[in-house]
Structure 1
Amino acid sequence: MFTRTESFREFIRLYPIVSIIIIIHVVLYLFTVLPIFPNYWFFEHLSGVNLYIFEGEYWRLITPTFLHNGFAHMLFNSVTLLLFGPALERMLGGGKFLLVYLVSGLVANLATLFLEPLSYTHVGSSGAIFGLFGYYLAIIIFRKNWLSRQNSQIILVLCALSLVMTFVQPNINITAHLFGLIGGFLLGAIPYYKKGAMSDSIKGMANWAGPAGRRIKLQSPLKIFLWGIIFLIAIIGFLVQR
């Protein structure tokens, strides 16, 4: 599911939205390093600067999602999207996938706007990508038949590691990561927020592994405890950073 075996042409045909986003990443990066435009023109006009957004430059709530600070930054986010975006695009369809991606990025940037200082500047698609992880988490809880046990475990481990690395690596927009994750999860959970639907889904979490459901059920309190510890660390880390 997360292993890419398609040719370049097949990949573009099967996953057009992911392909377009990655192309935008690469093109904008090239524009920032090639001597076509004045130095830092794109960073000056497209990066997220809280002060400028409050002054009315509202496009900066979206454009930072496609701009990156350096090759390694662009490459890491593009490869992550390359690995984990296609499966979700096929599940949701191109239009809905794009909506989840953009709204998650918007939520991350809005949180950055209101929780970080006026002078805070940021770029990168990490908030939107964390939104995809959040949506995967909603799938694991509410649409457990969409993912196999193995793929669900990959997502859970990746989310846990990503949250830990958010507080270990320097110069990370912690606010964007956390709220992008939350935004994506809520987008996936909203359709099930009605009487009985959400509680039934939570009660059925123990069976998402199929025949191994009974064994998983016995382990579920431990899983809940571990995830509680992870989110507690995330909240404490966020407060400490502030």
Structure 2
Amino acid sequence: MHPEEPVGPMPTDGQGRGSGPARCPRHPERETGVSCTRCGRPVCPECMVPAAVGFQCPECAHGGAPRQQYPPQQPRTTARGLLALGDGALVTKVLIGLNLLVFLYTQYVADGLQAGRLVLWSRALPSGARGGLAAGPDEWYRLVSAMFMHAGLLHLVMNMFSLWVLGPQLERVLGRLRYLGLYLVSGVAGNALAYLVTGADLQSVGASGAIYGLMGATAVLFKVTRTPMQPVIALLVVNLVFTFSLSDVIDWRAHVGGLVAGLVTGAGLMYAPRAHRNLVQGLTVAGVLALSLVLMLLGTARLPG
């Protein structure tokens, strides 16, 4: 997997043009989108040392290297040599925008189309119409589309606030493509577990499964960067207690499935061995998707004939 995102200061060919993605000086085989806030050098997840603002490289954190010791940043490029936009939260903003657009569509445009052939979301529909996540393989797409539909304005605001808090840091560390993969596979895995446990009549909507996946990946990031784990553990415990306390209105299955998928995917992305980094990362994402497919097959097999 090769992210196409701004990736920090780039080596140049002598004419000011970037020649490739930024790489950690201590681990040259690792691309990274994060720079030391003190000297500006690229720093990978293994080398990040938490600072009051952002992260520092080990040299600055432990030796107090002079600020801007690293050469001034050159124009940044994507993995294909295109000029970067310089937005470390672009995918997060796009996801928030998509969720908002789908909410407006389902609230003000599509009410009369809910019983049509293409049902885009999982929702309690009028008596006699189809409801739940999916009625079989021909509607598995709803395990994805339901991730972008919300039951009300408060539901949308809470999820989008969580996405904005958790997303940008992971997007900068992982890169856009890896981060998007993490988000999507977490959401799909959460809905697949809900589909397996509850079946086609489940009424479940929202980005919560994907967001719980981001929580899990954030816990992995804190572990990799040796950041104190108490805050993220407290966040997870509070959210899980809240989830199970209101299980009659909150889909705990999507939350738990998304959390586990986020932990597994985050570990695969951040702990991938140096020699086979891209291969291991790609296999991790593919493996979580394959497991989700197995859950969907098992769930479909349980549906009434």
TM-score (norm 1): 0.67
CA distance in 1, matches of 2:159, 2:254: 14
**Matching residue within 83, 92, 95 for 2:165:** 83
Match of 2:190 in 1: 108
Structure 1 counterpart SS, 2:187:
helix
Match of 2:94 in 1: 20
Residue-by-residue CA offset, 1:69-111 (whole Å, 9 max, x unaligned): 0100001000110111111111111110000000000110110
**Matching residue within 237, 258, 270 for 1:180:** 258
Q: 1:82 to 1:96 in 2, by over 3 A?
A: same
Structure 1 residue 118 displacement after superposition: 2.7
CA distance in 1, matches of 2:101, 2:272: 40
Q: 1:12 to 1:59 in 2, by over 3 A?
A: farther
Match of 1:134 in 2: 216
1:119 aligns with 2:201: yes
CA distance in 2, matches of 1:42, 1:125: 22
Q: 1:98 to 1:54 in 2, by over 3 A?
A: same
1:37 aligns with 2:110: yes
1:165 aligns with 2:242: yes
**Structure with the larger helix share:** 1
Q: Return 120-129 or 166-175, whichever deviates more.
A: 166-175
Structure 1 counterpart SS, 2:119:
helix
Percent of residue pairs identical? 29
Amino acid at match of 2:267: A
Q: 1:127 to 1:78 in 2, by over 3 A?
A: same
1:56 aligns with 2:138: yes
Q: 1:59 to 1:12 in 2, by over 3 A?
A: farther
CA distance in 1, matches of 2:153, 2:168: 22
CA distance in 1, matches of 2:135, 2:238: 32
TM-score (norm 2): 0.54
Match of 2:225 in 1: 144
Match of 1:202 in 2: none
Residue-by-residue CA offset, 1:94-142 (whole Å, 9 max, x unaligned): 110000000000110110111113311211000000001111222233x
Unpaired segments ≥5 residues, structure 1:
2-10, 195-242
Contact 1:53/1:61, CA 8 A, preserved across alignment: no
Structure 2 counterpart SS, 1:28:
helix
Structure 1 residue 193 displacement after superposition: 8.1
Contact 1:32/1:40, CA 8 A, preserved across alignment: no
Unpaired segments ≥5 residues, structure 2:
1-49, 51-84, 123-130, 274-305
Amino acid at match of 1:15: A
Contact 2:92/2:163, CA 8 A, preserved across alignment: yes
Count of residue pairs brought into register by the alignment = 181
Indicate the RMSD between aligned Cα atoms, in angstroms: 2.9
Q: 1:29 to 1:135 in 2, by over 3 A?
A: same
Match of 1:219 in 2: none
1:190 aligns with 2:190: no
Contact 1:111/1:176, CA 8 A, preserved across alignment: yes
CA distance in 1, matches of 2:213, 2:160: 15
Q: 1:30 to 1:155 in 2, by over 3 A?
A: same
CA distance in 2, matches of 1:41, 1:12: 40
